[in-house]
Structure 1
Amino acid sequence: MNKKKWFTTALSFVIATVLLAGCGDNKDAQGNDPQASAGKAVKLKLWGAVPVEAGPQAVVDAWNEANPDIEVEYIRYVNDDAGNLKLDTALMTGQDADLYINYTLTRLQKRVDAGVALDLASTGYDIDAQMGPDAAQWKINDKYYGLPTKKNMAFIWLNKKMLDEAGLPVPALDWTWSDLKEYAAKLKKDNVYGLLQHEASFTATIDGTIAGLGVTKADGTSNFDNDLWKQQFTMLHDMMFVDKSTPEYGEQLTSKMPVDTMFLKGEAAMLSAGEFIFRNANNLTEFPHDFQIAFATIPQVTADQKDYKYSGGLGDVLSVNAKSKNQEAAWKFAQWYADGGMLPMASGGRIPSSKSVDNKQAMDLLLKGVEDKYDVDSMNKVVFGQFESFQLSVPQQVLDARKEEYEKYFLNKQDIDATLASMAKRHNDLIKN
């Protein structure tokens, strides 16, 4: 047996041993560790992507003080491919992750398929009534495998001071990518980008477009080669390589640009990102800035575009690991968290979705001490506005294939027509399989 084959066999044996050990743990019929009945505190591990100091530690401290019989430890993972792989590995063993927060429907779908997300039907908790109609976007096979705990939206953050200096008004709600491209060109200066995009928001426009058009055409084939995607990708490519109003994709990728920090330091006039940036924008000690922040919607591709939807709705879906030894205790924490326990997260932009939470209390926490740092009118219209939203429901491998192809275009390794054709072909191959 060659070394490579021996290593693969040995690794498979180790993984199988760990999984069997996890499955063989002693627990009662309710899925709870009998050690808890011996007077020992049940210990739970909660995984999430928010830095511990931005709210999660305050949440678990409050819980642990009020519930000495159930001790929760927060583990932070980075919400990227490597971080999600780390979480998925912990979930499969059933040893190191009792609760976890999902940030995309595709990741949750993968975990449901792997059998590590508990079906919440038997809990008796009415998610539709408690969270509202947008919660249904997170159903998988008409079932809930997690609690959508927060109101969610991506938008454009704008440096109001730079807008005023350039004589530009806060954009209208129905602005387009042509408008954004023009704004970025007028706002760029030496050492100041017109636009930066957070990786999580890079595909917000094409996702909102396909949510309206349909992922597939009437004949069942891929719609990834649609003309609206071509127009938006082309404009963004021009902004990188012609206008130079936004970073070249390769540069942003390799340097791992801290785009939120750069925006708050005045190194960009606009930032495409979500409400999670509030945790830094409100931290004036580490991120001091002397400008007001205004807000605009993620622009659609064209003014006459039909059925465009906005990346938003509800998010931060808290799931219980179906392999956890302490499912009952984990569910008790999950319900508490969703129905008000998560309030310390509001100062970082995470507004609870549960009707049990006083919205005014959450808004007050969000703006406490920084009321003068935001343009109130645009904040009310965009951040607290009501828009038709979506959760893109396609398998993760489809998104991975799409990303591999559009990266080639933005790295100048293939042209736009080849990119769209390849995305559609790979999507069609996955549909067939």
Structure 2
Amino acid sequence: MKLRKFNKFVCLIAAMSTMAACSGNTGTTTKSGAAAPKPVQLKFWGGVPPESGPQTVIDNWNKENPNIQVEYVRYVNDDPGNLKLDTALMTGQGVDLYVSYYVPRLEKRVKAGNAQNLSEMKDYDIDGKIGADAKDWKIDNKYYAIPTKKNNYFMWLNKDAFDQAGIAIPDQWTWEDVQAHAKKLKQGDRWGFLQTLLEFDYPMDGSIEASGGNVKADGSSNLGDPFAKRYLEIMYNMMHTDLSTPTMGEQISKKMPVEAEFLKGNSGIFYGGDWIFRFANNLKDYPRKFKVAFASFPKVAPDQQSFKVMGGVGDAISINSSSTHKEEAWKFLKWYADGGMLPMAAGGRVPASSAVDQNAVLKLLTSGAEDTYDLDSLKKVLFDTKKDTFQLKLEQQVIDARKEEYQKYLTKAQTLDASIERMIKRHMDFLQQNKK
């Protein structure tokens, strides 16, 4: 009797041990019964709102790659937002990949040792996939990021207003033409021309870059380029003589949502870029009754021999040199560049890689509002391979100083000559203080 009780006790202990062993393994098991390794967790920092495409991209990747899971972390692409990212990089706060939107910011991150040298990677041809514009993102002749997006800046046109005014959709044109057309298009509450304050500088920079860059060969400032000066004069006349565009003071004080005003039909011409599509395709919040056509970016005047267009490629993604998962991050980055980012096109971000189907891009770019666009003019500006582009490399302190001076001119607080003289002096002071 005692032996039978002892045997039952042994069986009970064995059964309990088996149950404990089974309940203790709460993770995924392999066919052999061993626990599967936990997925690698990557953090990807970017400046685009998650709902504008990044979250869909991340969800697609995570579904296809259960062993490498990515979390998207949004930072605002302004000075405080970039400081937040730089602080996270310096203090090791979980950054595996991140996007730089401005070459000087990437350069600082490279010099701080926070970007992996991608030129050492031999299984992705950045020049071949992204094209010649990629070289603008080289630091010391090496790639520390893959630029993933085509930067497209062009003119949005109210085609109905152009047709009513008897103006043909422009092809090769100038800012003098913009002034003339805007004067005709100005009617009642409708402005002839609108643009954001951010893009306001780019026509000046296009002239400066075409004439040798921000600094001349002799080391002096090139901010007084005559065509950059001419552009400011055109804008002054449009504001104060033609009254075809809001004054600088009005636009600043009212914080005018110019893209929304254009989409309401309150402007004949709007200078923006492909990022406007995320508003233009939203016909619920931005309903419109007119068709949108597109025109290339204008040079300043007919006698300008060379001009560059702000654009090229951007959204440059780096791998943090301190990441403990560089191999997995590199796998994600290649996938993202070569088509993984395609859902971002619906928000206006056109993939730069030649591996991406351009027809698919165009379909997503105009999704939900195809009939409201003149597609022929869109294709012409979007896939133009002949334009000479540049990446802005002027330091932020100089950009801010220049803005302060030209705004004084445009608000009648300072003459044009005095503004140009002050721009040059402040640039030269900066160069002197930052000699390498």
TM-score between both structures, scaled by the size of structure 2:
0.85
- Name the SS of the counterpart of 1:238 in structure 2: helix
Report what 2:309 is aligned to.
310
Tell me, yes or no, if structure 1 residue 295 matches structure 2 residue 294: yes
Runs of 4+ in 1 over 4 A off after TM superposition: none
Q: CA deviation at 1:340?
A: 0.9
Residue 360 and residue 377 in structure 1: after superposition, are their counterparts in 2 closer, same or farther (change >3 A)?
A: closer
1:178 paired residue among 176, 179, 186: 176
Q: Determine the structure 2 residue equivalent to 1:88.
A: 86
> What is the Cα deviation at residue 276 of structure 1?
0.9
Contact 1:200 1:273 in 2 (8 A): no
What is the CA–CA distance in structure 2 between the aligned matches of 1:38 and 1:397, rounded to whole Å? 52
1:415 corresponds to 2:415: yes
Separation of aligned partners in 2, 1:411 and 1:324:
49
Read off the aligned partner of 1:358 and give its amino acid letter: D
> Alpha-carbon deviation of 1:218?
3.9
What is the rounded CA distance, in whole Å, between the counterparts of 2:218 and 2:313 in structure 1? 31
| Percent of residue pairs identical | 52
Tell me, in whole angstroms, the C-alpha distance in 2 between the residues paired with 1:404 and 1:38. 59
1:351 aligned partner, one-letter code: V
Q: Which moved more, 1:275-284 or 1:236-245?
A: 236-245
**In structure 1, how many angstroms separate the alpha carbons of the residues matched to 2:421 and 2:243?**
27
Question: Any idea what SS the aligned residue of 1:95 has?
Answer: coil
SS at structure 2 position matched to 1:195: strand
Task: Say how many residue pairs are matched.
Answer: 396
Q: Does 1:79 align with 2:81?
A: no
Q: Deviations over 1:226-277 (max 9, x none)?
A: 2212111111122223322222223323433222222111122211111111
Q: Evaluate the alpha carbon distance shift between residue 71 and residue 204 of structure 1 in structure 2; reply closer, same or farther with a 3 A threshold.
A: same
Match of 2:31 in 1: none
Q: Of the candidates 99, 102, 123, which is equivalent to residue 101 of structure 1?
A: 99
What is aligned with 1:374? 373
Ranges in structure 1 where 5+ consecutive residues have no aligned partner = 1-36
Contact 1:120 1:146 in 2 (8 A): yes
Matching residue within 35, 40, 43 for 2:41: 43
Letter of the aligned partner of 1:428 in structure 2?
M
Partner deviation per Cα, 1:342-387 (whole Å, 9 max, x = no partner): 0111222222121222222222222344332111232122122221
Taking the aligned partners of 1:325 and 1:382, their CA distance within structure 2 comes to 42
The 3-state SS of whatever aligns with 2:350 is: coil
Distance across 2 between alignment mates of 1:252 and 1:320: 39
- Map 1:385-404; keep pairs closer than 5 Å: 385-386=384-385, 387-404=387-404
Q: Corresponding residue for 1:18?
A: none
In structure 1, C-alpha distance between the alignment counterparts of 2:261 and 2:159, rounded to whole Å: 15
The match for 2:428 is 428
**Could you report, residue by residue, the CA deviation over 1:137-173 in whole angstroms, capped at 9, with x for unpaired residues?**
2111101111111222211101111111222211222
Shift of 1:298: 2.1
Q: Is the 8 A contact 2:207 2:225 kept in 1?
A: no
Structure-2 change in CA distance of 1:166 and 1:420 (3 Å): same
Aligned mates of 1:256, 1:69 — CA distance in 2: 46
Paired residue for 2:239? 240
Q: Deviations over 1:265-323 (max 9, x none)?
A: 11222111111111211222222212111111222111110221111221211122234
Q: How does 1:201-240 map to 2 (within 5 A)?
A: 201-215=199-213, 216-240=215-239
Distance 1:322 1:259, change over 3 A: farther
Match for residue 193 of structure 1?
A: 191
Letter in 1 for 2:358: N
**One-letter amino acid of the structure 1 residue matched with residue 388 of structure 2:** E
Equivalent residue number for residue 157 of structure 2: 158
Q: Which residue does the alignment assign to 2:24?
A: none
Structure 2 residues without counterparts, runs of 5 or longer: 1-34
Residue of structure 1 equivalent to 2:258:
259
| Structure (1 or 2) with the larger CA radius of gyration | 2
Mapping of residues 270-289 of structure 1, within 5 Å: 270-289=269-288
Partners of 1:208 and 1:221 lie apart in 2 by: 18
Retained in 2: the 8 A contact 1:48–1:75?
yes
Residue aligning to 1:269:
268
Q: 1:243 and 1:94, CA in 2 relative to 1: closer, same or farther beyond 3 A?
A: farther
Give, as a single letter, the amino acid of the residue that structure 2 aligns with 1:326: H
Query: Quick one: distance in 2 between partners of 1:221 and 1:418?
Result: 18
2:314 & 2:242 partners in 1: Cα distance? 35
In structure 2, the CA distance between the partners of 1:93 and 1:407, relative to structure 1 (3 Å rule), is: farther
Q: CA deviation at 1:96?
A: 4.4
The aligned residue for residue 27 of structure 1 is none
Amino acid at match of 1:123: M
Which stretch has the larger CA shift, 125-134 or 369-378?
Answer: 369-378
Match runs of 1:293-372 below 5 Å: 293-372=292-371
Q: Distance in 2 between matches of 1:285 and 1:239?
A: 32
Q: Is the 8 A contact 2:205 2:228 kept in 1?
A: no
The change in CA–CA distance for 1:199 and 1:92 in structure 2 (over 3 A counts) is farther
Change (3 A) 1:94 1:353: same
Secondary structure of 2:313's counterpart equals strand
> For 1:232, what is the secondary structure of its paired residue?
helix
Partners of 1:221 and 1:38 in 2: CA distance: 63
Counterpart of 2:47, as a letter, is A
Contact 1:204 1:298 in 2 (8 A): no
CA offsets 1:162-219 (integer angstroms, 9 cap, x no match): 111222211222x111111111122123322211112332112111111110123342
Q: SS at the partner of 1:203?
A: helix
Q: Which amino acid aligns with 2:295?
A: A
- Mapped partners of 2:36, 2:431: distance in 1: 52
Aligned-partner SS, 2:376 = helix
Deviations 1:6-34 (A, max 9, x none): xxxxxxxxxxxxxxxxxxxxxxxxxxxxx
Equivalent AA in structure 1 for residue 142 of structure 2:
K
Conserved? CA contact 1:225–1:421, under 8 Å: yes
Structure 2 distance, partners of 1:136, 1:337, is: 19
1:271 alignment partner, SS class: strand
Cα RMSD of the aligned pairs, angstroms, is 2.1
Letter paired with 1:297 = S
What secondary structure is seen at the aligned counterpart in 1 of 2:392?
A: coil
